[in-house]
Amino acid sequence: MDSNTTEIGYTSATTLASQIRNGDLSPVTVIQTFLDRIERINPTLNAYVTVCDEKARAAAQKAERAVKRGDDLGPLHGVPVAIKDLTHVRDVRTTLGSPAFTDHISETDDTVVSRLRDSGAIILGKTNTPEFGRKTVTDNPVFGASGNPWDPERTTGGSSGGSAAAVAAGLAPIALGSDAAGSIRIPSSACGVVGIVPDFGRVPFGPNHTDAFQNDLPYTFLGPITRTIEDATVMLDVMAGPDDSDPYSLPTPPEMYRDTLGGSLSNVRIGYTSDFGDFPVDDAVLDVIESTLEGLSKAGATVVDIDVDFEGTWEKRHDVLEWILQERYVGLYEALRRDPGVDLLETDLPITPEVRSRIRAGLELDSTKIAKSRQHRTAIYNTIQSALSDIDVLAMPTLGRTAFERSVEAPMVDGETVHPMHGWTLTWPLNLSGNPSASLPVGFDEAKLPVGLQIVGDRLADQQVVRVSAAIEQEVEWDGSYPPEAIESLT
């Protein structure tokens, strides 16, 4: 193992930016180190699907010249970043994980990419995702499956699995993810990294030319995947703020996210729900979560048990998620039929079966179900807000189990087979309600697979989520767990 490349690979983005700014570390050296690591490790993990090696080297040389000139430098100057392959990067292949877009080159940057560039960040490449972000595991007909850095034969989760794997494996210090049913938090938990879902609209989508209103079907978020909360706050400070192309974008928050760091757990009230109402959870996961909460209590937090009493059954609530996702995929289907003229139902290309089944179901969806979905979402929102009424944040497992083998199609939780897409994730109700949340790595099960703790806050209180998450991070001291043993020999 090359200790120098490992050291740089696991240096935080904040530290890298500081060392580059001070002239202690060359951006050219940083970028080449990460490109070397990608060359050695990515064939095993398949985290990246496109590597921008020449563009990244050229950007690093430009960044180095700026340092030598004494230019004003952005907060991420010279720092590498990975971008999920659902987000457009100018002059770079963006496949959306679909055979229909295998050779598609984006003409413009999405807003969030422009902001990262303006901060000085250097794009290393695009990371793997299921086709159109359709699944909670990361594989697609174009590039295949991604492997978990803690055990490459296991899933990364999804749909931002390539980004989470890249960060956990030291192939990028920070990465961008998106989340419509847990797609930032699921892989962050499975891969042992930090994933934050800020307030809906805090990080804008765009430019949106076809359907700028789709992202409330369900609430969909852009957010950071990092190894530390501090790195996540730097990303959020760069990415957050209004954008005219996104009708849901929020104003710039009154306080910088990074300024929320440094607090303690004293006087913080944490409500704990072991099952978020009625989700199955393995005992091995609960053991880690409850041990963590016991430690947080000793550190000054007040931890209280909370009953989250949703109306109806798990299945009825999940129907709501499926109905609105079906409607969303009809929008995707019609947009692609119009421009660029791809019919996902008629093409001979090997489109993911779940993509086609969701479109077909959506085409048969009646307006009564859409009306009912809004009513059920209101009930879910009210229940979550009620649970949060006397506490600062709600805490629960992010996932009902740790990462399972990639070959498994029907995962089991607590000895029972669950819904293969969403039965093992405690994330998606928050995409129906719109609450900000984070997943933090807090320990391992007996198989040495990561366990994530999900922290949930009130609407428009994402900075509270960040503040408490940072205080928790200080007590857990997870950072020393890197690098994963499974990839040490590859480095």
Residue whose token pair is 């987000």 = 87
pLDDT given for residue 490 in this prediction: 78
Cα 5 from Cα 30, distance rounded (Å) = 9
pLDDT given for residue 2 in this prediction: 63
Please identify which of the residues 26, 98, 146, 183 carries the catalytic annotation. 183
Closest to 136 measured CA to CA, from 353, 421, 333, 348 = 421
Q: Reply yes or no on whether 183 is catalytic.
A: yes
Residue 158: what residue type?
G
Q: Reply yes or no on whether 316 is catalytic.
A: no
Residue whose token pair is 């989700």 = 279
Core vs surface per residue 327-337: b (16+ CB within 10 A) or e = bbbbbbbeebe
Closest to 482 measured CA to CA, from 450, 455, 439, 438 = 450
Q: Reply yes or no on whether 298 is catalytic.
A: no
Q: How far is CA 184 from CA 86, 221, 246, 407, in A?
A: 13, 9, 20, 22
Residue 10: what residue type?
Y
Residue 456, beta-bridge partner list:
394, 437
Cα 413 from Cα 425, distance rounded (Å) = 10
pLDDT given for residue 406 in this prediction: 97
SS (H, E, C) the chain: CCHHHHHHHCCCHHHHHHHHHCCCCCHHHHHHHHHHHHHHHHHHHCCEEEECHHHHHHHHHHHHHHHHHCCCCCCCCCCEEEEECCCCCCCCECCCCCHHHCCCECCCCCHHHHHHHHCCCEEEEEECCCHHHCCCCCEECCCEECCECCECCECCCCCCHHHHHHHHCCCCCEEEEEECCCCCHHHHHHHCCEEEECCCCCCCCCCCCCCCCCCECCECEEEEEECCHHHHHHHHHHHCCCCCCCCCCCCCCCCCHHHHCCCCCCCCEEEECCCCCCCCCCHHHHHHHHHHHHHHHHCCCEEEECCCCCCCCHHHHHHHHHHHHHHHHHHHHHHHHHCCCCCCCCCCCCCCHHHHHHHHHHHCCCHHHHHHHHHHHHHHHHHHHHHCCCCCEEEEECECCCCCECCCCCCEECCEECCCCCCCECCCHHHHHCCCEEEEEEEECCCCCEEEEEEECCCCCHHHHHHHHHHHHHHHCCHHHCCCHHHHCCC
Please identify which of the residues 26, 84, 274, 433 carries the catalytic annotation. 84
Closest to 472 measured CA to CA, from 321, 272, 237, 316 = 272
- Interacting residues of 215 by C-beta distance below 8 A, sequence separation 6+: 200, 205, 246, 248
Please identify which of the residues 159, 188, 433, 437 carries the catalytic annotation. 159
- pLDDT, averaged per 10 consecutive residues of the chain (491 residues), comes to 81 98 98 98 98 98 98 98 98 97 96 98 98 97 98 98 98 98 98 98 89 94 98 98 96 95 97 98 98 98 97 96 97 92 96 96 96 97 97 98 96 96 98 98 97 98 98 92 89 63
